[in-house]
Amino acid sequence: MSGADLIFREIDARREEILGGLMRLLEIPSVSADPARASDVRRCAEFLAAELRSAGFQSSVEETGGHPAVFAAAQAAGAAPTVLFYGHYDVQPAEPLDKWTTPPFSPAVRGGAIYARGASDDKGPLWAHIQALRLWREHGGLPVNVIVLLEGEEEIGSPHLRQFLERNRERLRADVAVLSDTAQFARGMPAITCGLRGLLYMEIVVRGAAFDLHSGSYGGAVPNPANVLVELLASLHDAQGRVNIPGFYDDVAPLSEEERRQWSRLPFDEDRFLRELGLEAGAGEAGYSTLERRWARPTCDINGLTAGYQGPGAKTVIPATASAKVSMRLVPDQDPDRIQEAFERTLRQRCPAGVRLEISRHSAAPACLTRTDSPFMRRAMAAVTRGFGVEPVLIRGGGSVPVVGMFKEVLGVDALLAGFSLPDDREHSPDEKFDLESLRSGMRTAAALYEELGRR
């Protein structure tokens, strides 16, 4: 019996103990976007540092200039590779609260899943790794040297992470990084994510008069910032669903025919996908499948709009300002800085006279691709197979994990992305969940992964 096989038995024997610890972690409202929750974010960091310390790691809560990070390290008995595990303990805001079946920070188990904000993104997966590492420490010692880095600002764009990595380059030196902030392809079909889209998140503000105006007295005679804003936003796409920004697609590499064939063979049910989202039809760039649009094509989406009176009843005003938040998901070879320049140039050219246009950037991260033929990738495939009992598929992810690019640029280390969550876990939405079987399979996979990565 290998070391990981022994740990598999311990995972099942200590199921209730492990679940109880996760529930205590989920009770902490570590919402990084809410300044009023700053003390809770720090409390969560301290909770995790203490958990790692009790598991035999040297751990500390480290200042970043924003919300703190958790750093921990432990050594294998002999010469071994060093694995850097990254997770994030901050969570999205829980609003709208009235859409939750049970309170978001009072974790509840029902139907074989644990429901709470952060259950799937990312507290459940990081807890799986921490518990697998604890069991390795308790049963024979770690098969690899392990560094743990837990961030408290991932959900707000990781504004201080790059500086933290640069300051701690030597302490974070590793042979490979491991993340589980991704998902399985489907229930019973685990996946290793080989590529992620990048992100460019912008805010647009249109300003008109110095104050709101009576729409009867001034309507038709003065510019309306809300009208201008919606016209600008509507101009960002053409009739074929393509982003209508000159130069936007200049660096986009076409998908290979082999990759398109592989993805077309995945058991993706379009009708079920739409039904689960409450939609009657899909949308997007013509000429591409839904998976291709989600994983390998760039996008431009409005994330929020604010203009004029939003209260009950009517108030007939021309708003003084109107604003929007827009995210662009980028694909490999697209440079966020170049895309930002094109975005700003295009909007300023299209903006009519009489209003002031302000454009600012909130966050950005490049897309990334991971080689599928490396020794580390082959070992990750073996570990996921052992953990889930079935061989994983190779996919891309539509979202962004900024740290993956930063690890490569700052630390020179590639990342393996083997996620445990399910596509229907409702991350960032009310009733977020994490299946108990995902927790079990995740711990098994993490335990096997550290063993596989330590093989000579």
Q: Which residues contact 419 (CB under 8 A, 6 or more apart)?
A: 125, 180, 181, 182, 183, 184, 191, 193
Overall average pLDDT of the 402-416 stretch:
93
402: left (phi over 0), alpha (psi -120 to 50) or beta: alpha
Overall average pLDDT of the 412-440 stretch:
97
Residue 102, pLDDT above cutoff 70: yes
The 3-state DSSP composition of the chain as helix, strand, coil percent (nearest 5) reads 35, 25, 40
- In 140-224, where does DSSP find H-type helix? 161-167, 215-218
Q: Which residues contact 26 (CB under 8 A, 6 or more apart)?
A: 105, 107, 114, 116, 117, 118, 119, 123
User: What is the distance of C-alpha 225 from the center of its chain?
Assistant: 33
For residue 98, the 8-state DSSP code is G
Distance CA 241, CA 239 (A): 6
- The ranges of the chain annotated as CATH 3.40.630.10 are 3-196+367-453
- The ranges of the chain annotated as CATH 3.30.70.360 are 199-252+298-363
Domain covering 3-196+367-453 in this structure, CATH number: 3.40.630.10
**Phi and psi angles of residue 421, each rounded to the nearest 5 degrees, phi first:** -75, 170
Query: Which amino acid is present at 26?
Result: L
Distance CA 237, CA 361 (A): 20
Residue 1, pLDDT above cutoff 70: no
Residue 433, pLDDT above cutoff 90: yes
pLDDT value, residue 456? 67
Exposed, middle or buried: residue 287 (CB in 10 Å: 0-12, 13-18, 19+)? exposed
Digit-coded pLDDT (tens) for 287-321? 999 999 999 999 999 999 999 999 999 999 999 99
Tokens of 407: 């690890």
Overall average pLDDT of the 274-293 stretch:
94
pLDDT value, residue 363? 87
Overall average pLDDT of the 395-399 stretch:
91
pTM across the whole model? 0.82
Digit-coded pLDDT (tens) for 6-62? 999 999 999 999 999 999 999 999 999 999 999 999 999 999 999 999 999 999 999
User: What is the distance of C-alpha 45 from the center of its chain?
Assistant: 19
Tokens of 178: 């491991």
Domain 199-252+298-363 has CATH 3.30.70.20: no
pLDDT value, residue 401? 82
Query: Which amino acid is present at 45?
Result: A
- Residues 343/204, Cβ–Cβ less than 8 Å: no
Residue 349, pLDDT above cutoff 80: yes
Which contiguous run of DSSP H or E holds residue 13?
helix 3-13
